[in-house]
């Protein structure tokens, strides 16, 4: 048997029970899964092929690997680090607007390794990383992130999330609330122009799109429509079309952004995108909380996808996304953890459960609450759609062999009543024993196979020690800016936006 870096030319997963997709209500009886060249070739009992290696999966449940459809790996060192605050104040510490020195590639690599390790060990086989850079991306920092994903063995699609307008242009009212010195500082455009970023994207796509046997891919990102010029937004949309790349765009995450659309554009940010001709089936519209009925209609008409990040939405007080209205309109939904600063983990299991539960306090009509099958459909089919792939998120002949094998003897499944409900409401990733990506065993008996975990932990500790002084510098900058951003936030609160995505205050 020939084996290269753990990639088996032929593998049989022997005697597993199987949940192939969200439509299947109960596990199969024990079956085998035959994998060749990273692709599932056959599923059935007593399979054999010449020269195969076997993975004993007796007592294990095979499920499609989960897909984390929205993550920012550069925030991985911020887990548990920041006091909860609304997005506009929180971002002072996440993407500080006044820093000049680029981050070390070693830090970028370590953060990507950290989230990838956590995800793989919990059965999350693919990630859509909307990577931001402080203050701007470099070839070295991009290669560091992609190299980390290459080395650990996860499936990753990565975008360069970079604004290219001045800080004061991203918000309503802010320019008039700042003292003169800060207004001057925050009115400067970033050093990298839209043309610079497009050149970087071209190099990024040439080097990494389709790398590692198509396990690594590129996406594009404008961060949010108000954070870039219309010209750059249109150029990225065309780049996305040319290469059929997913396009990440944060839209109406907060109430303040609803106010911004009205003040700056005279319309919602969904309508702004659509009127520019930049709302299409490649758009991954992230958050989509403060949307109205017309916005939902436009998202549906254009075939856009919505990325739901329920834990992030709760931690930052952004509100509750109208899940049922989007599903009823036929808008596909995927699920993400967002980032370690506003979820504190890259564990998608928690986001799936929270996404199901939070709707129960948004709608008293219990028949409209998300079902376990719907949440798994978002995690699998929606996640695959997020990466613009139709060959993952399922276990079927012809699909890529991205598979998590869970111990049915774990407490999550004791006793086994309804496997889909228990996957959503009981499991947290602790039952995962083995994980395959592209048919390669990347986690065996809960241990990563491609890297030495202890060596990588030392690498992460060293990178965090390098990063820690920067965190203190960021806090000093944020403390100076925060009173003015708070004043902006409160001014936006005083404006009527005709809706609420909060449950409201209880009477005293």
Q: Which domains does the chain have, with CATH numbers?
A: 3-59+397-448 (2.30.40.10), 68-99+127-282 (3.20.20.140)
Length of the chain equals 508
Question: Are the C-beta atoms of residues 252 and 291 closer than 8 Å to each other?
Answer: yes
7-8 and 66-71: which strand pairing?
A: unpaired
Q: What is the pLDDT along the chain (508 residues), one digit of tens a residue?
A: 223 344 456 999 999 999 999 999 999 999 999 999 999 999 999 998 888 899 999 999 999 999 999 999 999 999 988 888 999 999 998 888 877 788 999 999 999 999 999 999 999 999 999 999 999 999 999 999 999 999 999 999 999 999 999 999 999 999 999 999 999 999 999 999 999 999 999 999 999 999 999 999 999 999 999 999 999 999 999 999 999 999 999 999 999 999 999 999 999 999 999 999 999 999 999 999 999 999 999 999 999 999 999 999 999 999 999 999 999 999 999 999 999 989 999 999 999 999 999 999 999 999 999 999 999 999 999 999 999 999 999 999 999 999 999 999 999 999 999 999 999 999 999 999 999 999 999 999 999 999 999 999 999 999 999 999 988 888 988 999 999 999 999 999 999 999 999 998 776 5
What CA–CA distances, in Å, run from 107 to 10, 217, 265, 468, 476? 37, 21, 38, 11, 21
| pLDDT reported for residue 183 | 96
Backbone angles phi, psi at 162, to 5 degrees: -140, 115
This prediction has a pTM of 0.96
| Residue carrying the six token digits 């590692």 | 212
| pLDDT reported for residue 100 | 77
| pLDDT reported for residue 82 | 84
Residue 5 backbone zone (phi > 0: left; psi -120 to 50: alpha; other: beta): left
| Structure tokens that stand for 41 in this block | 């070739």
Bond from prior residue into 196 cis (ω within 30 degrees of 0): no
Number of other residues whose CB lies within 10 A of the CB of residue 98: 18
Question: How many Å apart are CA 151 and CA 156, to the nearest integer?
Answer: 11
Question: Are the C-beta atoms of residues 308 and 283 closer than 8 Å to each other?
Answer: no
| pLDDT reported for residue 50 | 82
Specify the 3-state DSSP secondary structure of 31: strand
């Amino acid at each position: 048997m020939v084996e290269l870096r753990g990639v088996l030319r032929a593998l049989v997963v022997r005697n597993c029970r199987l949940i192939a997709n969200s439509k299947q209500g109960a596990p199969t009886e024990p079956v085998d899964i035959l994998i060749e060249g990273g692709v599932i070739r056959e599923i059935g009992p007593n399979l054999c092929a010449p020269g195969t290696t076997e993975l004993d999966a007796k007592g294990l449940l095979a499920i499609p690997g989960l897909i984390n459809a929205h993550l920012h790996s550069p925030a991985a060192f911020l887990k548990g680090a920041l006091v909860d605050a609304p997005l506009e104040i929180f971002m002072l510490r996440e993407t500080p607007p006044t820093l000049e020195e680029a981050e070390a590639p070693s830090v970028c690599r370590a953060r990507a390794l950290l989230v990838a390790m956590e995800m793989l060990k919990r059965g999350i086989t693919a990630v859509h990383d909307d990577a931001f850079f402080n203050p701007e991306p470099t070839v070295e920092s991009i290669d560091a992130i992609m190299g980390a994903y290459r080395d650990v063995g996860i499936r990753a699609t990565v975008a360069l999330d970079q604004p290219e307008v001045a800080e004061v242009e991203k918000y309503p009212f802010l320019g008039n609330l700042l003292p003169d010195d800060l207004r001057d500082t925050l009115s400067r455009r970033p050093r990298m122009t839209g043309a610079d970023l497009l050149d970087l994207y071209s190099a990024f796509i040439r080097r990494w799109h389709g790398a590692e046997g198509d396990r690594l891919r590129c996406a594009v990102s404008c961060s949010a429509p108000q954070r870039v010029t219309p010209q750059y937004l249109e150029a990225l949309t065309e780049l996305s079309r040319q290469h059929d790349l997913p396009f990440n765009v944060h839209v109406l995450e907060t109430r303040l952004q609803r106010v911004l659309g009205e003040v700056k554009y005279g319309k919602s940010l969904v309508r702004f995108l659509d009127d520019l001709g930049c709302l299409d089936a490649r758009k991954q519209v992230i958050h989509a909380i403060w949307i109205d009925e017309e916005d939902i209609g436009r998202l549906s008409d254009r075939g856009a996808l919505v990325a739901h990040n329920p834990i992030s939405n709760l931690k930052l007080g952004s509100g509750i996304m109208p899940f049922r209205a989007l599903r009823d309109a036929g808008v596909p939904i995927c699920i993400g953890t967002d980032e370690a600063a506003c979820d504190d983990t890259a564990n998608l299991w928690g986001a799936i459960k929270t996404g199901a539960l939070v709707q129960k306090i948004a709608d008293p009509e219990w028949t409209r609450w998300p079902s376990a099958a719907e949440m798994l459909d978002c995690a699998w089919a929606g996640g695959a759609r997020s990466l613009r792939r139709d060959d993952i998120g399922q276990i079927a002949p012809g699909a890529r062999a991205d598979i998590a094998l869970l111990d049915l003897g774990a407490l999550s499944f004791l006793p086994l009543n309804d496997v889909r409900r228990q996957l959503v409401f009981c499991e947290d990733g602790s039952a995962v024993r083995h994980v395959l990506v592209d048919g390669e065993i990347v986690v065996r008996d809960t241990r990563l196979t491609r890297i030495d975990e202890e060596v990588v932990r030392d690498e992460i500790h060293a990178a965090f020690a390098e990063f820690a002084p920067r965190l203190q510098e960021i806090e000093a900058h944020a403390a100076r800016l925060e009173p003015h951003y708070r004043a902006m936030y409160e001014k936006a609160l005083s404006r009527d936006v005709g809706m609420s995505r909060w449950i409201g205050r209880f009477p005293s």
